[in-house]
Amino acid sequence: MDPVEQKDPAQENRRLRAAMEQMRSRQNVARGGVAIAIVLFFVGRQFRGVLPPGTVDALQTALALFGLVVIALAALPFLRSICPKCRQRYHSPASLFRSADDPAPCKHCGFQINKHVSRYS
- The set of residues, in sequence order, having a beta carbon less than 8 Å from that of 56 and lying 6+ positions away, is 44, 47, 48
Report yes or no: 109 and 86 within 8 Å, Cβ to Cβ. Answer: yes
Q: Which pLDDT value is given to residue 75?
A: 87
Q: Which pLDDT value is given to residue 117?
A: 59
Average pLDDT of span 98-103? 74
Residue 4 has pLDDT above 60, yes or no: no
Condensed to tens digits (0 to 9), the pLDDT of residues 23-76 reads 888 888 888 898 999 998 888 888 877 878 888 888 888 999 999 999 889 988
More confident residue, 69 or 104: 69
Report yes or no: 119 and 20 within 8 Å, Cβ to Cβ. Answer: no
Q: Alpha-carbon distance 76 to 68, whole Å?
A: 12
Average pLDDT of span 67-87? 87
Q: What is the pTM of this model?
A: 0.71
Mean pLDDT of the chain: 80
Report yes or no: 105 and 111 within 8 Å, Cβ to Cβ. Answer: yes
